[in-house]
Amino acid sequence: EAGVAQSPRYKIIEKRQSVAFWCNPISGHATLYWYQQILGQGPKLLIQFQNNGVVDDSQLPKDRFSAERLKGVDSTLKIQPAKLEDSAVYLCASSLVWGNPKNEQFFGPGTRLTVL
Amino acid sequence: KQEVTQIPAALSVPEGENLVLNCSFTDSAIYNLQWFRQDPGKGLTSLLLIQSSQREQTSGRLNASLDKSSGRSTLYIAASQPGDSATYLCAVRSNYGQNFVFGPGTRLSVLP
């Protein structure tokens, strides 16, 4: 079974530029998550999708971050414009069904973003 | 608001030792708790998931326990090996919020 795929693996941009990250979850997984992990900290949830609908985006900085999952499969996370403090690893995860306590989350390798 | 802490922040042990990693959470009304492993520069690998109705889960040399009333979970690693060196994170999903809140992790080094 293929895991969660993410691209690119690394990205270096200057502040005020735009950047986009792509995620392809495990086939059949209805729930998709985007996390931000700053060095030395645990991941922080940015947004959670159930199929193509947003379940929770309460911690997403909506003035600069946006995410979509138009067909309920792949997802894109965008930052526009980027700030220095956005330097982090952006992790995508998926799980089979949201709301089932037996569901495990499976993570992709992440995209390491450096903002100069 | 759920808060998750992990102690110690870092741990170094000789190969072969049994060890315990701790995870504490402030709100005992949890849905489930999941332990992950993260290798440097990599994503997270799921180790064990404990539902709120369970007290422990085991997988190979790993055993995770859950005590909701005290807001604690422990990850027990038996007969540690250098390959166990990684950062171990616990994540808690609360009943009301349905979001995972992660702890900061414990960085484990197992010395040959």
pLDDT-derived band at A100, boundaries 50, 70, 90: low
Strand bridging mode B19-25 / B106-111: unpaired
Decide if pLDDT at A101 tops 80.
no
Structure tokens at B69: 């009333």
- Could you read off the pLDDT of B16-27 as tens digits, one per residue? 999 999 999 998
Which residues of chain A are within 8 Å of residue B53 when distances are taken between CB atoms? 101
Three-state DSSP class for residue A15: coil
Is B100 in contact with A103 (CB distance < 8 Å)? no
- Could you read off the pLDDT of B26-55 as tens digits, one per residue? 988 888 899 999 998 788 999 999 988 999
Q: How many Cα atoms occupy the beta-carbon half-sphere of A17 within 13 Å?
A: 12
Q: Tell me the percentage of chain B whose pLDDT exceeds 90.
A: 79
Three-state DSSP class for residue B82: helix
- Could you read off the pLDDT of A24-66 as tens digits, one per residue? 999 999 999 999 999 989 999 999 999 889 988 999 999 999 9
Decide if pLDDT at B96 tops 60.
no
Strand bridging mode A31-37 / A53-56: unpaired
Q: How far away is chain B from the Cα of A67, in angstroms, using its nearest Cα? A: 17
Which residues of chain B are within 8 Å of residue A93 when distances are taken between CB atoms? 44
A-B contacts (CB, under 8 Å): 60
Contact: B104, A42; criterion CB under 8 Å: yes
Contact: A42, B89; criterion CB under 8 Å: yes
Q: How far away is chain B from the Cα of A48, in angstroms, using its nearest Cα? A: 8
